[in-house]
Amino acid sequence: MMNNEITTGRYTNEVNGSQFEWDLKEGTFTYQGDDVILFWINTAFKVFMDTIEDISGGEEARLVLETAGYRTGENVSQFYHESMGNIEEIVSLLPNTYLTAGWGVTTIQSVSEAETTAVVRVRNSWEYKIHNVQGKKTEGTFIPGHWAGVFSGLFGQSVWYRVVKSQIEGDEYSEYVFSPSSITPKKNILSMINEKDRHEIVKLENKVSERTEDLQNLIKELSSPIIPVLDNIVVIPLVGRFNEERSEELMTKTLSQLPNYQAHTLILDLTGIYGVDEYTIELMNNLVGACRLLGVNTIFVGVSPKLSILMVQSKAELENTVCLSTLQHGIHYALAEEGLHITEKNK
C-alpha cells in the first residue's frame, strides 16, 4: 500500500489489463472508468432476483431479464463501436472484459460479420450461479439476451439467440448460437401481452359459457312450469322469447307430463311472452294440435294486440282456439266446460 493511497483514499488495481479503482472519500468504485457496485450472489443478488420474480411472475421475469440483457448488450456494442470501431478487435477484447468483471469465462467461438452469425460459450456466469442458488434447472435469459444485443449492435442488424447447450441443465458450459432474426425483445413483450390477453379472454369466455349453461339450466327448470289449478285443468305460463331449443323443451315437457294430470283443459297464459313472430305462432299451432291429439282442449289467455294480429294474419289453424283476456276468465271458462263454477262461501 502506497502512502499517497492512504492520504488520498484512492486505491487502484489492474487485473489482466482491466482497471479497478476505489475512492473511499467519495464512496465510489469504478471498473474501466465507469461506476460499478458489488453484490453478494448467494444472498443480496439472489434476494434481488427473487423479488423481481415474486412481483412480476416467472415468465414475465424471464422476459424482463432478457430485455434488460439485450439493452445492456446494445450499450456495450455502442461504447466499443465509438471507441474502437473494428469488430474483430472488439470481439478479441470482450471475453477478458467479462472475465475480469465477474461474468464467468466467456469464449467467442466464431463470428461472421458477412453472415451476421456468432457462437458464444459461457461457463460459471453469474446468472448460472444465481439459478443454481435458486434451485432452477432452466437456462437464464439475461446473458444470451445480452449477447444478442451486443451482436445486433456490432452487426447493425437484429440477431437473436438459440441455446444449444446449458450448464444449469448439466452441460459443461452454456453455448448460444446467434443468427439474423426478426425477433426482438419488443416483439417478445407484445407477444407475451397478446398471449396474456388471449388467455384472459379464453378464461372469460369459459366463465361466460359456464354461467350461460347454468342460466340455461335454471331457465329450463323454471321455464313454462305446468301448474295444476283444479282437477283436469292445468296452466302453463309462457315467459320471454322462444327459440328452437326452448320450443322443443316446452313441447317435450308438456306432452310428456299432461297425461299425469289427467288434464281436459290446458290454459296457456301468454301475458309474459315477448318477441312475438311467425316462429312463435308456429309453436302455438303445433302445441294446440299436439294437445288436441291427446284429447286436451287449449285456451289462450293474456293475448296482446300484436299477437292477436299475427294470429289473424297467419295461416295457423287457431280459429277454433278460445282466446280470453285474463287468466281468471280462462279458469272460469274451463270450469264451465267441466260443468262447474265458483261460488262464494256462505257466511
Q: What is the DSSP letter of 113?
A: T
Asked whether residue 158 is assigned to any structural domain, the reply reads yes
Asked whether residue 207 is assigned to any structural domain, the reply reads no
The pLDDT value recorded for residue 199 is: 60
Q: Which three cell numbers stand for residue 69?
A: 440483457
pTM for the full predicted model = 0.55
Q: For residue 174, which of 183, 163, 160 has the smallest C-alpha distance?
A: 163
Asked whether residue 210 is assigned to any structural domain, the reply reads no
The pLDDT value recorded for residue 217 is: 65
Asked whether residue 271 is assigned to any structural domain, the reply reads yes
Asked whether residue 311 is assigned to any structural domain, the reply reads yes
290's CB contacts (< 8 A; 6+ apart) are: 251, 254, 255
Asked whether residue 215 is assigned to any structural domain, the reply reads no
87 shares its domain with 168: yes
Q: Examine the fold and report which residue of 153, 173, 192 is the final residue of a domain before the chain moves on.
A: 192
Tally of residues, the chain: 347
163 shares its domain with 49: yes
The pLDDT value recorded for residue 315 is: 63
The pLDDT value recorded for residue 282 is: 84
Q: One digit per residue, pLDDT tens: the chain, 347 residues?
A: 455 566 678 899 999 888 999 988 888 999 888 898 888 888 888 888 888 888 878 788 888 888 889 999 999 999 888 887 789 999 999 999 999 999 999 999 999 999 999 999 999 999 999 999 999 999 999 999 999 999 999 999 889 999 999 999 999 999 999 999 887 776 665 655 555 556 666 676 677 677 767 666 665 655 668 888 888 899 998 888 887 878 888 888 888 888 888 889 999 998 888 777 777 888 888 888 889 889 999 999 988 887 778 777 776 667 678 888 899 999 999 889 888 877 777 65
- What b/e sequence results for 233-255 when a residue is b if at least 16 CB atoms lie within 10 Å of its CB, and e otherwise? bbbbbbbeebeeebbebbeebbe
180 shares its domain with 56: yes
51 shares its domain with 186: yes
Q: Which three cell numbers stand for residue 41?
A: 450472489
Asked whether residue 214 is assigned to any structural domain, the reply reads no
128 shares its domain with 178: yes
Q: What is the DSSP letter of 192?
A: H
144 shares its domain with 255: no
6 shares its domain with 50: no
8 shares its domain with 98: no
294 shares its domain with 229: yes
> Which residue, chain included where needed, has cell 293475448?
303
18 shares its domain with 54: no
Looking only at the bridges linking them, the beta strands covering 105-112 and 34-35 are: unpaired
151 shares its domain with 245: no
Domain count, the chain: 3
Domain assignment of residue 6, given as a range:
1-38
47 shares its domain with 187: yes
Instruction: Please tell me the distance from the alpha carbon of residue 48 to that of residue 57, in angstroms, as a whole number.
Output: 14
The pLDDT value recorded for residue 56 is: 77
On the 0-12 / 13-18 / 19+ scale of CB atoms within 10 A, 218 is exposed
In this structure, how many other beta carbons lie within 10 angstroms of the beta carbon of residue 97? 18
- CATH value at residue 260: 3.30.750.24
Residue 177 in contact with residue 162, Cβ under 8 Å? yes
Q: Examine the fold and report which residue of 192, 210, 240 is the final residue of a domain before the chain moves on.
A: 192
Residue 123 in contact with residue 174, Cβ under 8 Å? yes
> Which residue, chain included where needed, has cell 419488443?
186
Task: Quickly list DSSP for 259-278.
Answer: GGGT-SEEEEE-TTB-S--H
303 half-sphere exposure, CB direction, 13 A CA radius: 22
Q: Strands of 227-230's sheet, edge to edge?
A: 227-230, 233-237, 265-269, 297-301, 322-324
Q: Describe the crossing of helices 305-313 and 278-293 by its angle, rounded to 10 degrees.
A: 70
Instruction: Please tell me the distance from the alpha carbon of residue 178 to that of residue 113, in angstroms, as a whole number.
Output: 12
For 161, phi then psi, to 5°, come to -110, 160
